[in-house]
Structure 1
Amino acid sequence: MANRYASLRSLVPPEHLKGKKSLSDLIEVAVNYITDTKKNIKKLGLQRDKLKMLSKSGNLSANVGSSSSYSPDLITVNPCSDGVEILISSFKEEGFPLSKVLVELLERGLLVVSCSSVKENESSLHIIQCEASGLKCNVLATLQKRLTDVVNLGCKTS
């Protein structure tokens, strides 16, 4: 049994074991370490799936992959034949305020012609198509930032 405890101690990073000498402390630290590692693996798996999905749709932007700029929700706004297509990827368990997004679009004079949602496990993808003519790139970038604020902050500012 002593060999098993020694093996367990060798698997837990030293910074987690500081000042922990008893076997019960070792087991508690190991359980916490395993739980934290599982959470990190799940989070990284969701990020990977999100990046794969965006890569397939051709909407991968340069700042998505960096861990410092990662947010649970990702919004892309793309021009399409008669207006814009908005893709919202949400990885929050509780979801996000889709109604606030739709209100924001209406306030900006965009006519929502379709809104589709797909949910799998804890992630969801929303595709919103709006009619609008003559939108310029800077307007699309502003719209994307504004929708990101609405979704991530859940607040309404002008």
Structure 2
Amino acid sequence: MFFTILFIAVIFVGLVVALPYFSGLTTLEVDKKTRQQQKNLEKKQQQQQQHQQQSYGYVPPDEQRRLEEEQKQAHSLKARASAFKDKINVTSEDIPIKIKLNSLNNPTSTLRNRHKEKLDIDNDPNNYDYDLDELIEEETNQAKVDQETEFYKHETIGKDKEEMV
């Protein structure tokens, strides 16, 4: 069951990556420098800085004890667990394949080209596309018609005068 779900997930991820690539919407770039290599480089630089800061003369006993405790802590179980935790934490920077849209590189692309349109807006309250008097008259006529239909809805119109009385 687990392998079936894993297989379906791999196919789904493959489709999500492959379809835009084959349709020409995206490009795939392989990043050769991973985050782990960058971390190793930073650690080496920090170690070089610490090595340069150390003095080669007399070191007091309390300083020696502190350095020994730091070394023990670096090799302890907690340090190994935190290092393992850092290795497990995977981000988008760790993935060596980068997906980029073609429209960002190509200004002539028709993919989501949205230009801001300048609308001709008239903010003058005296200029309207309609006449307010006509709107008021239409509303009152409609209200009269509605009132008459409500008033005469129970009446039967069109019969003889004698039947209506």
With the shorter chain as reference, the TM-score category is under 0.3
More helix by share: 2
More strand by share: 1
Q: Greater relative contact order (Cα 8 A, min sep 6): structure 1 or 2?
A: 2
Q: Which entry has the higher C-alpha Rg, 1 or 2?
A: 2
